[in-house]
């Protein structure tokens, strides 16, 4: 027999105020009242910005006398390029840019700093463009970033 003061596993909380969150008339979930309005506003702004990007791509294609029906494809490509990569050479380039900000160095100072580790400005530019990272650069990159060579290889998607 359970003690009388032990809480029941299921109960209704009367302290929280949840409201339905809808998308195009369909309830997709419930959210605390304090966050619901902000969440809906943010999602609507995102949709508006994506629509504006498609319109800009359509205008660009029209001026170039290209097929305007490819505007969504072009907009999606721009969105993909704008997202921070999570793996590959471009991800390392983003990590190096973050390291530059952490150190408070100007681009020129950071390139000189990296050069002391035998990573050239051209190597960094190639990473930013998505070109493969030479194996001899993995150890120097790890020292600049303050991570292990294995972690660098993991970001690149290489096995040890």
Place of tokens 């993909």: 80
pLDDT in tens, 76-126: 999 988 888 889 999 999 999 999 999 999 999 999 999 999 999 999 999
Dihedral, CA of residue 92, residue 95, residue 100 and residue 101, to nearest 10: 160
Taking CA 73 as the corner, what is the angle to CA 80 and CA 131, rounded to the nearest 5 degrees? 40
* Secondary structure class of 88 (helix, strand, coil): coil
What is the dihedral sign for C-alpha 18, 23, 29, 35?
negative
For position 100, what pLDDT does the model report?
Answer: 95
Cα(131)–Cα(156) distance, integer angstroms: 11
pLDDT in tens, 9-37: 665 555 667 888 888 888 888 888 888 88
> What confidence category does residue 160 fall into, taking pLDDT thresholds of 50, 70 and 90?
very low
Q: pTM for this one?
A: 0.59
């Amino acid at each position: 027999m359970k003690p009388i003061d032990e809480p029941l596993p299921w109960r209704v909380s009367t302290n929280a105020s949840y409201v339905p969150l809808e998308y195009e008339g369909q309830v997709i979930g419930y959210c605390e009242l304090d966050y619901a309005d902000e969440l809906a506003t943010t999602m609507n702004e995102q949709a508006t910005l994506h629509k504006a990007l498609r319109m800009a791509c359509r205008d660009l294609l029209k001026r170039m006398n290209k097929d305007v029906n490819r505007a969504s494809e072009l907009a999606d490509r721009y969105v993909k390029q704008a997202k921070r990569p999570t793996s590959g050479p471009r991800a390392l380039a983003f990590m190096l840019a973050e390291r530059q900000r952490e150190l408070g160095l100007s681009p020129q100072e950071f390139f000189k700093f990296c050069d002391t580790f035998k990573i050239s400005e051209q190597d960094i530019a190639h990473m930013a463009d998505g070109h493969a990272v030479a194996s001899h650069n993995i150890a120097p990159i790890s020292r600049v970033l303050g991570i292990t060579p294995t972690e660098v290889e993991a970001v690149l998607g290489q096995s040890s």
